[in-house]
Amino acid sequence: MSSDEAEYMRRMADALRSGAKMLADQCPVCNSPLFEIKGQIWCLKCNKRVIRVSSEEEVEEAFTGITLNELLKTLTTKMEEVNIALKRVADPREIKDLTETLISLLKALELASNLREHFTD
Ligand SMILES: [Zn+2]
């Protein structure tokens, strides 16, 4: 058994132990049985969330871009908040803290944007 298969078996065992339900649907990518875990549908072989796209049992891989877009939105909001805070503070230490936070956010934003490009093409 390859390590991938061992990993798949382990994920399946974990999922079933935590109350996951095996569905009649199959993964559109690898044809493995899909699992319902806490209201979400997962392919444990691909280790990806799958979403139903129509009333006929049709399924499609969840687009990772959705999560990244949400992350980008969150990061942008946080940057705005830090920016507002930065305008208010006068204490050099606080300014330093906020600037460092801003730098981390900018780095995260850059990484997330790069990842999004990677997923969109
Ligand atoms: Zn799959």
Q: Is 33 helix (H, G, I), strand (E, B) or coil?
A: strand
57 and 7 inside one domain: yes
43 and 90 inside one domain: no
CA distance 111 to 115: 6
For residue 63, the model assigns a pLDDT of 46
Q: What is the CA(116)–ligand 1 centre distance, in A?
A: 21
Domain count, the chain: 2
Q: Looking at residues 44-60, what average pLDDT do you find?
A: 66
Residue 15's domain comprises 3-61
77 and 112 inside one domain: yes
Closest CA to 42 of 19, 22, 64: 22
pLDDT per position as a tens digit, 19-51: 999 888 888 888 888 999 988 889 999 888 887
Supply the pTM of this predicted model.
0.45
> Which residues are 49's β-sheet partners?
42
CA distance 119 to 59: 19
Runs of H (alpha helix) within 18-91: 64-88
Q: What is the CA(43)–ligand 1 centre distance, in A?
A: 5
